[in-house]
Amino acid sequence: MPSSTPHPADSNGSPPLEAGTPAFSPLYQQIKGLILQSLQSGEWKPGEAIPSEMELAARFRVSQGTVRKAVDELAAGNLLVRRQGKGTFVATHAEHQVQYRFLRLVPDSGDQASEGPAERRILECRRTRAPADIARLLAIRSTDAVVQVRRVLAFNGTPTILEDLWLPGAAFKGLSAEQLADYRGPTYAMFELEYGVRMVRAEEKIRAVAADAAQAELLDVSAASPLLSVERLAYTYNDTPMELRRALYRTDTHHYRNELS
């Protein structure tokens, strides 16, 4: 039930009549918000189908075209996936499609397929208090608990990524090194399944840095080798930051791929 603003039933042109600026919001945006709420609340789980367009239209008392536009935008933002003839599904990190949805590092050969899943080596997994800078980025208090994970990812036996994950402790109670090591598939898929945390978008800041001694050893490169520093802040619904990831990529056999338009 969208808040009535433009509707053919409303033959009168009554304005929204809210406080301040009317802030006109199209019907389909309101529908989008409602669908988002259902996603957030877990009414439909990752990988599952949401109700058909007709059903949603009936539920929200709008035309099919209007829910279509709402779903279109959610699909454009990778929150939903449409499959003709089958239905519309909640996006997930668990589908092998592109293996790692947020990882832009690809082998120079371009042959992504020849490269099996990354071998994971967990170096550390501990709960601690959030350092000030981490807390700020995760939008939590610096007295709050966080889980810190350090690990190395290797491709075909070559250690390629060294990364630290920082997760809000409240949402990731019980996360262990074993769980991180054992889960088959993307870590973000495990987060969906085990903790109900769905990463929806992310921002990355990329730099070139020189490896220090410890980093060099872990990545099996010589000291001071140039490495790609990738700081990723990943968000769930509602623009809530849920993971800070600071990674170092070897770029001697791989590169970070980006598309601009």
Partner DNA sequence: AAGTGGTCTAGACCACAAC
Partner DNA sequence: TTGTGGTCTAGACCACTTG
Print the binding letters for residues 52-91 with a copy of itself: x by CB under 8 A, - otherwise.
------------------------xxx-------------
Phi, psi for 75 (deg, rounded to 5): -70, -35
Q: Which of 72, 89, 67 is nearest to 2 (CA)?
A: 67
User: Is 200 near a copy of itself (CB under 8 A)?
Assistant: yes
Please tell me the distance from the alpha carbon of residue 253 to that of residue 52, in angstroms, as a whole number.
45
Query: Residue 76: phi, psi to the nearest 5?
Result: -65, -35
Q: Which does 64 bind (CB under 5 to 8 A by kind): a copy of itself, DNA, none?
A: DNA
Residue 259 binds a copy of itself, judged by CB under 8 A = yes
Q: Which is nearer to DNA, 12 or 238 (CB)?
A: 12
Q: Which stretch binds DNA (CB under 7 A): 20-28, 134-142, 152-160, 221-229?
A: 20-28
User: Which range binds DNA by CB under 7 A, 85-93, 168-176, 177-185, 231-239?
Assistant: 85-93
Q: How far is the CB of 67 from a copy of itself (least distance, A)?
A: 17
Phi, psi at residue 70, to the nearest 5°? -60, -50
Which three-class secondary structure state does DSSP give residue 9?
coil
- 5, 92, 148, 236: which one binds DNA (CB under 7 A): 5
Q: Which of 121, 127, 201, 246 binds a copy of itself (CB under 8 A)?
A: 201
The sign of the CA dihedral 180, 218, 104, 131 is: positive
249: contact with a copy of itself by CB under 8 A:
yes
Cross-strand partners of 27 = none
Which candidate, 156, 158, 151, 163, places its Cα nearest to that of 120? Answer: 151
| Helix, strand or coil, per DSSP, at residue 194 | helix
Q: At what angle do helices 64-76 and 53-60 cross, to 10 degrees?
A: 120
Bridge partners of 166? 148, 244
Sign of the alpha-carbon torsion through 125, 131, 137, 143: positive
| Binding-site string for DNA from residue 93 to residue 132, where x marks contact by CB under 7 A and - marks none | ----------------------------------------
Closer residue to DNA, CB minimum distance, 64 or 251:
64
| Contact with DNA (CB under 7 A) among 1, 17, 20, 84 | 84
Stretch binding DNA (CB under 7 A), from 33-41, 78-86, 194-202, 222-230: 78-86
- With tokens 């918000």, the residue in question is 33
Alpha-carbon gap, residue 201 to 67, rounded angstroms: 23
Residues found near DNA in the complex (CB under 7 A): 5-8, 13, 24, 26-29, 50, 52-55, 62-66, 68-69, 82-88
Residues found near a copy of itself in the complex (CB under 8 A): 76-78, 101-102, 104, 200-210, 224-229, 232, 249, 251, 255-261
